[in-house]
Structure 1
Amino acid sequence: MSKSILIAGASGALGFKLLKDFKSQGFKIRALTHSEEGLEKLKGEVEDIHYLDASEDKGKLEGITRDMDYVVSALGKSISLFHPDSDTFYESNYKANSHLLEDSKKYRVKKFIYVSMMGADTASDFKIPGTHRKTEKEIQNSGLNYSIIRPVGFYSGLHDLIIMARKKVIPLVGDGKAKTNSIFHGDLANFISNNFTGLPEISEIGGPKIHTREEMAVMIQEKIGGKIIKVPESIAKSGSEVPKLFAKENLGHKLDYFSYIMSNDMIGQSRGTLTFKDYLNQIDLDNIE
């Protein structure tokens, strides 16, 4: 009898790769997406698709984990500065996952795997990691077998710098010496799908190489062009407050966290094989929006 798994956020970059990986292992797949575009993307890959917003009335979600052995949640709001949306981080990162967790408890799934983010425990005063931390705590108190994955950050999360490089500016907050080992989302999906039954309760995962933020900016500069400009942390902090004055809190919170991760070391366990330089060489940079 084949094992079954619900993949929440299945149309996103990570979720879609997870779907492909688990499908190749013979799993019975159920997919959750909240966008019409995501629905169309999934139709050619899986039959059991639930198209709804998990952050809304949890009654609509009732039974979504019935007959599922496992749940992997890649639900969460984009932190891209160029990805405007109306839902809040509270709704996307916490409320949606809380509803999903409640259903998982009701139907006693064997394991709940949640993709959080590095900084959820150490930087929870910031809105974005704080909403992930709130979800983590509920999972830890759920009574379910669980694994929480905290990726350092995805290469795709640096697309904002690629977009800005095309506009001839690559901003760095602070001195650019903060270190990180961001990871390719495909490598993280492989790590999760290949190890999901044996994953520890908490894993902080990064890519194969550690770079300073300045080194990564230089790689983007060499590929695209643009001038690297270092912005003092105090100015970046002040700038993040301005959008909040004009009812653009999401953008303000994104700028807050962008400043934090650009000026603090973010290093996880080394996993995967694709380096950031190779990633830049293999993607279609002209189609990044």
Structure 2
Amino acid sequence: MENILLAGATGYLGRRIVRELTVWGIPTAAIARNPEKLSDADPEIIRVLKAEVTQPETLVGICDGIDTVISTLGITHQQDGFSYMNVDYQANLNLLREAQQAEVRKFIYISVIDGDKLRHLAISTAKEMFMDELKASGLEYTVIRPNGFYSDMRQFLKMAQKGKIYLFGNGEYKLNPIHGADLAEVCVRAISQKTKEITVGGPDILTHNEIAEMAFSAWGKTPSITYLPDWTRRAIITGAKFFSTSKRYGALEFLLTMMGRDNMAPRHGSHRLQDFYKREINNIKTNN
């Protein structure tokens, strides 16, 4: 049976991959900066290792006996003094070098949809630079390019809660976001697959208008949508480069770029966005 090393195990996707690996009964070493965040993991399946991926000396020997590495390493907001180049590129490269040293069979990396077409964005630049290294590594590899996560769709819920949702253009850009649990299944299945790149989204292709209406419906509110001309989106990106901090700019640049285009991927999964919204609202009401 395969032995897996999972990096980024305490993040949104990483925790769901831990659950999926546990269901499959696949022995896994999960890297965590704060091991206590995985205290609920099944110790018979998941072995938690304390390491700091940005510090290569803490990774020495970590891939010994490992068949496949899965990395979800990456940051949305630059924080804790780390940049995209520190984490999305260098931390992954640190792990890749260890994998090469240990002669690991395969490396699975989770990137973003169309990152190869958006290399000019700060987030994509770092990810694609690492992918260049991965492709040249000599290891078998699979790069998974997911569409937006359901967790990203919380922004629609937050706006709907306040009574108004703002969209760019006519709101007809399309996407099919994916639930973390459905994406985790894709990641684990990739262990035995030969496909080098997998682009994947959720089961439903939706317009921004449909997502907005779904968010209002979840709150039991009448839809109120304001449409902003697309030039305002482009102006915000330009202005943010000069007036926002580097910590905030990359995430804003990526979000607004994706809001101004169609983002559709092959459909997969069984989790529906409207069900996700209902659970989110129940959680909000329960905790208030």
TM-score (norm 2): 0.89
Aligned 8 A contact 2:72 2:110 in 1: yes
Post-superposition shift, 1:273?
1.0
Matched AA of 1:13: Y
Please point out which of 49, 64, 67 is paired with 2:65.
67
Aligned 8 A contact 2:160 2:212 in 1: no
How does 1:76-225 map onto structure 2 within 5 Å?
Answer: 76-78=74-76, 86-224=81-219, 225=221
> How many residues in Structure 1 have an aligned counterpart in Structure 2?
280
Aligned 8 A contact 2:63 2:104 in 1: yes
Aligned 8 A contact 1:174 1:262 in 2: no
Post-superposition shift, 1:104?
0.7
Measured in 2, the distance between the counterparts of 1:91 and 1:166 equals 36
- Equivalent residue, structure 2, for 1:236: 233
Percent identity between the aligned chains?
A: 28
Distance change in 2, residues 1:253/1:232 (3 Å): farther
Please point out which of 16, 36, 41 is paired with 1:40.
36
1:51 aligns with 2:58: no
Distance change in 2, residues 1:273/1:238 (3 Å): same
Distance change in 2, residues 1:86/1:235 (3 Å): farther
Post-superposition shift, 1:127?
1.0
Instruction: Describe the SS at the equivalent of 1:153.
Output: coil
Distance change in 2, residues 1:180/1:4 (3 Å): same
- Equivalent residue, structure 2, for 1:263: 260
Measured in 1, the distance between the counterparts of 2:168 and 2:240 equals 18
Instruction: Describe the SS at the equivalent of 2:17.
Output: helix
Distance change in 2, residues 1:163/1:52 (3 Å): farther
Structure 1 unaligned segments of length 5 or more: list them: none
1:191-226 residue CA offsets vs partner (Å, 9 max, x unmatched): 222342115100100111111112111111222347
Distance change in 2, residues 1:169/1:96 (3 Å): farther
Distance change in 2, residues 1:262/1:199 (3 Å): farther
Measured in 2, the distance between the counterparts of 1:98 and 1:254 equals 22
Measured in 2, the distance between the counterparts of 1:223 and 1:26 equals 36
- Equivalent residue, structure 2, for 1:27: 26
1:219-262 residue CA offsets vs partner (Å, 9 max, x unmatched): 11222347423233322232234444356113122221111111
Aligned 8 A contact 1:177 1:263 in 2: no
CA RMSD of aligned residues (A): 2.2
Measured in 2, the distance between the counterparts of 1:239 and 1:192 equals 35
